[in-house]
């Protein structure tokens, strides 16, 4: 079977509802999981009600594939005497203005692409009683069918060569301002590059062709959906930023590069880097899960290839290859055994990505709240039990301790604890307050180590310098982490607002 119109499923779930469902670590809300699991790929068996009939000057032979938007038939162009893949929209697409517009957009976008690695559009009639798109027919299976039959490639070189060709074709599309947004094995069609009588049909016998630009997006004039609640894409191959808007991306090419990384991983291992038993688990894994490492599943792959694949699968779009052309070059250098540019660790990029994640807001709030709660217990406990200790206190010392206790609670610990609580609720001002108050306290804490306690000096009478150092060192450590967390929360809140 070739040329499937394997468009992804859609759902009218609100983006916020979906984000809340996925963000709770895979725990579904109500019946949402059941609703989403209905979208999981089912049987692709399709009847052929139009087989044997004619549309315009095309004789329909049999169904090649189907999807949410249309059915693709093998047809014969009676004028030119050649086989074509004829895509016909489903009836429900014809009566839905939004879906019909997207069907038409696929033809207009794909028609502007002229590359040997992209399935060509020959002809389209979008206004007649039976709209259709006639495209090139590939005589081999699609990559999904090949994987289903073979499991994975026997030679990593075959996979790298194939993906390098796909990346080069993809770079051409990107250069024309078109980004696919739904790359997956079913959208990579295979046509025989060798003698058709060859029965081996190894992956190296085929040339890849990218098909189905139904979700494509123009870089210069975005084709946005009229319904903001539309979730588009195929889960296993979707990039994190397609699911979580707070991630954002200044490089639309990075989304397609992530999908290429998933396909490369699957070719080499027979499975996707992130999986799950349900739609919700897959989405949650893509957003927050850690991808499996390539060489743990296929030790025959060189380490450089693992580095290339890992870079494609970075959660942070900015850490991936910034063009498909660069990726193609890396793959070809790997084939030749030459040095590649990819690094297994991109420390600064990963730290920056981690700092701006939405989870940092709640973490900063809870950390601040608990740290201040612990130190409030320490302050009040010290004030309460100092009288039962062996420390000799004058009346002036006792009043000094009371003053420091009241000052610490009223100006530092209670305000910080309150701002921490408000940070957990997502208040924009709260992490600023915690960070500023902590920064104001830091000089006094360092001075207490260098010259002696600035606060609660009578408490430390008779104590060793090591005890004083240990107490203030713990304070400095907690407050330093608190500042860092709250700065991260500020960055995360700003990024979340920008994503809206």
Catalytic residue positions, numbered: 182
Q: Are strands 58-66 and 70-77 parallel, antiparallel or unpaired?
A: antiparallel
Residues contacting 124, CB < 8 A, separation 6+: 107, 111, 131, 132, 133, 134
Residues contacting 176, CB < 8 A, separation 6+: 112, 113
Q: Distance between CA atoms of 50 and 73, rounded to whole angstroms?
A: 9
Half-sphere exposure of 159 (CA within 13 A, CB side): 29
Rounded to 5 degrees, what angle do the CA atoms 305, 311, 312 make? 95
Rounded to 5 degrees, what angle do the CA atoms 44, 3, 47 make? 40
Residue 320 neighbours by CB distance under 10 Å: 29
Identify whether the C-beta of residue 174 lies closer than 8 Å to the C-beta of residue 217: no
Q: Which residue has the tokens 């600064």?
A: 348
Enumerate the β-bridge partners of residue 76.
59, 83
Q: Which residue has the tokens 């380490």?
A: 303
Give the gyration radius of the chain's Cα atoms.
30
Give the chain's largest Cα–Cα span: 109
Q: Distance between CA atoms of 429 and 436, rounded to whole angstroms?
A: 11
């Amino acid at each position: 079977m070739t040329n499937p119109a394997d468009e992804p499923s859609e759902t009218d779930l609100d983006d916020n509802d979906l984000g809340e469902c996925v963000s709770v670590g895979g725990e579904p809300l109500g019946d949402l999981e059941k609703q989403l699991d209905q979208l999981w790929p089912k049987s692709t068996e399709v009847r052929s009600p139009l087989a044997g009939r004619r549309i315009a000057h095309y004789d329909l032979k049999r169904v090649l594939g189907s999807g949410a938007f249309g059915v693709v038939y093998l047809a014969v162009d009676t004028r030119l005497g050649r086989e074509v893949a004829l895509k016909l929209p489903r009836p429900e697409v014809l009566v839905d203005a939004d879906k019909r517009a997207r069907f038409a957009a696929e033809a207009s976008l794909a028609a502007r692409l002229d590359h040997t690695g992209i399935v060509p559009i020959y002809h389209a009639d979008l206004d007649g009683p039976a709209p259709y798109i006639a495209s090139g027919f590939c005589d081999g299976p699609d990559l999904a069918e090949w994987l289903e039959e073979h499991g994975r490639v026997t030679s990593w070189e075959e996979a790298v060569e194939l993906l390098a060709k796909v990346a080069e074709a993809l770079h051409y599309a990107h250069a024309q301002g078109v980004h696919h947004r739904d790359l997956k094995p079913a959208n990579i069609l295979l046509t025989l590059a060798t003698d058709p009588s060859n029965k081996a049909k190894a992956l190296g016998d085929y040339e890849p062709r990218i098909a189905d630009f139904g979700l494509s997006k123009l870089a210069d004039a975005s084709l946005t959906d009229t319904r903001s609640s539309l979730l588009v894409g195929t889960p296993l191959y979707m990039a994190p930023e397609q699911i979580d808007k707070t991630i954002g991306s200044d490089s639309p090419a990075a989304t397609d590069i992530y999908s290429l990384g998933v396909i490369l991983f699957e070719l080499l291992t027979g499975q996707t880097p992130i999986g799950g038993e349900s739609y919700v688990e897959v989405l949650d894994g893509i957003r927050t899960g850690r991808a499996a490492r390539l060489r743990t599943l296929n030790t025959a792959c060189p380490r450089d290839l693992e580095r290339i694949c890992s870079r494609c699968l970075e959660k942070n779009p900015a850490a991936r290859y910034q063009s498909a052309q660069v990726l193609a070059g890396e793959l070809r250098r790997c084939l030749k055994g030459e040095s590649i540019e990819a690094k297994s660790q991109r420390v600064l990029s990963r730290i920056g990505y981690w700092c701006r994640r939405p989870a940092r807001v709640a973490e900063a709030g809870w950390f601040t709240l608990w740290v201040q709660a612990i130190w409030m217990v320490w302050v009040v406990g010290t004030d309460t039990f100092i009288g039962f200790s062996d420390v000799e206190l004058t009346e002036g010392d006792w009043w000094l301790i009371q003053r420091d206790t009241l000052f610490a609670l009223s100006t530092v610990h209670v305000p910080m604890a309150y701002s921490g609580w408000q940070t957990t609720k997502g208040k924009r001002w709260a992490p600023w307050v915690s960070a500023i108050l902590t920064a104001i306290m830091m000089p006094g804490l360092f001075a207490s180590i260098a010259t002696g306690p600035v606060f609660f000096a009578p408490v430390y009478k008779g104590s060793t310098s090591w005890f004083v150092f240990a107490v203030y060192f713990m304070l400095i450590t907690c407050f330093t982490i608190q500042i860092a967390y709250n700065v991260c929360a500020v960055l995360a809140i700003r990024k979340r607002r920008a994503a809206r």
